[in-house]
Structure 1
Amino acid sequence: MLEWSGERIIPKLMKPMNGMLLEHIARYYFATPYIQGRVLDIACGAGYGCHFVAKDRKREVHEVIGVDIDAATVAYASREYHHQKVTYVQGDALDPQLPEKLGAFDTILSFETIEHVADDRLFMDNLYNMLKPEGKLILSSPFGRGRGMPTSEPFHVHQLTPQEFEELFERFTEVEIYYQRGPTFEKPREGVRYFIGVAVCTK
């Protein structure tokens, strides 16, 4: 059995009103209108998101690939969140061979992942190379002091500034930036401080 560490979300071990759990689930609800075809959930964790996507978008989705770096997590996801359209794979988001191994996708989901990787540009290259033309990328990340700067979160390499976050998506043809506040998503409002950015990008 996996343990909830404060970073890896295990819904079955958490109270339903846990704020972090609600935030994570809300991202999948937010993304559902954009999800179709062959779907990649990179750093899928326990697998609840892949399972939700496969069920909620059963008419629009024909395959979901969930990738996580941790073998025990992949085994847990395969067992606890099995679905006929979902395959869980152990893999490293920074593996330069990942596009060759996994192929191309119509939709890529990347929630709260980029702050964990040392080379966010290589990570973005991998995602871009795996996305089909006109495919959608939905990516979220917490904001912080910036690339290369220390963070108070023990599992985060760094946390990008809002400007650095937006610069990640310059090569995409269309980009919409939203901000997450608890389980809600909105365009920026004056006087409101936001801690998490969410980008919806079209290749």
Structure 2
Amino acid sequence: MDLLEWTGERIIPKLMKPMNGMLLEHIARYYFATPYIKGRVLDIACGTGYGCHMVAKDRKRELIELVGVDIDDETLAYANREYHHQKITYQKGNAVDPTLPEQLGHFDTILSFETIEHVEDDLQFMDNLYRMLKPGGTLVLSSPFGRGRGQQTSEPFHVHQLTPAEFEDLFVRFPFSDVEIYYQRGVTFEKPRDGVRYFIGMAVCTK
């Protein structure tokens, strides 16, 4: 099967033009998260593994272990083949499985990029992330904006897309000690500004 047939929205840098806008935006999220990478790290819904490999190479001294989790067997096989690193372990898992924290343990940093819009029970997903994050640990999470929870989206692989207000409300429900909200514009990130329409939100949460 052609790799593009089973990846859906998955980013495959080796099959994309270097200046592809979607590729650049995805890479920018990992660059944004790089300073927070330390200790034991989880990349939930890691896809093809390019981001895991990128941050592992850049933060190899600060990194103890990086666990990349995805639900698709072929995607994980590709990640193991193309983006192997001595500090990375790829494994299969369901992001909304209530037993996931018991399976994976605790992490100093958790990355979740463009994942929450793919799951119907986003609160269970957030509960899993919060339970897996160590006290003092950092969660870096992004999601595109849309019509809101339970509303149809034009993206075939998205269950729904949260509004900016719903996105920010996700983090109010959990007792994080600090939450910083940024919005992505192209490859840059900024604090919200009045009168500017944003399409992707990024949250940095400290437990």
Structure 2: stretches of 5+ with no match in the other structure: none
Name the counterpart of 1:50: 52
Aligned: 1:92 with 2:91: no
Tell me the equivalent position of 2:200: 196
Equivalent residues, number:
203
1:141 to 120, 124, 143: 143
Residue identity opposite 1:114 in structure 2: I
Establish whether residue 117 from structure 1 lines up as the match of residue 111 from structure 2: no
Q: From 158, 173, 178, give the equivalent of 2:177.
A: 173
1:30 corresponds to 2:32: yes
Contact 1:36–1:107 (CA under 8 A) maintained in structure 2: yes
Q: What residue in structure 1 maps to residue 4 of structure 2?
A: 3
Displacement of 1:191: 2.9
Query: Could you tell me how far 1:34 is from its partner in structure 2?
Result: 1.1
Distance of aligned partners of 1:6 and 1:19 in 2 relative to their CA distance in 1, 3 Å threshold: farther
Give SS of 1:168's match: helix
Amino acid at match of 2:200: I
Give the TM-score of the pair, scaled to structure 1: 0.97
Q: What fraction of aligned residue pairs are identical, expressed as a percent? A: 80
Q: Comparing 186-195 with 85-94, which one deviates more in the overlay? A: 186-195
Deviations 1:35-82 (A, max 9, x none): 111000000000001101110001111100000000000000001000
TM-score normalized by the length of structure 2 = 0.96
CA contact (8 A) 1:178 1:188 kept: yes
- 1:66-77 superposed matches below 5 A: 66-77=68-79
Whole-angstrom CA distance in 2 between matches of 1:94 and 1:190: 34
2:158 maps to which residue? Answer: 156
What secondary structure does 2:205 align onto? strand
| Alignment check: 8 A CA contact 1:2 1:76 kept | no
Tell me, in whole angstroms, the C-alpha distance in 1 between the residues paired with 2:15 and 2:193.
Answer: 35
Q: Secondary structure in 1 aligned to 2:147?
A: coil
Supply the AA of the counterpart residue of 1:49. Answer: G
Deviation at 1:188, TM superposition (A): 1.7
Q: Deviations over 1:109-140 (max 9, x none)?
A: 00000000010000000000000001000000
Contact 2:8–2:157 (8 Å) recurs in 1: no
Q: Is the counterpart of residue 64 in structure 1 residue 80 in structure 2? A: no
Gaps of 5+ in 1: none
Residue deviations 1:147-171, cap 9 Å, x none?
0011111100000011110111112
Runs of 4+ in 1 over 3 A off after TM superposition: none
2:137 match: secondary structure: strand
Deviation, structure 1 residue 190: 3.1
Q: Is the 8 A contact 1:175 1:200 kept in 2?
A: yes
Map of 1:120-131 to 2, 5 A cutoff?
Answer: 120-131=122-133
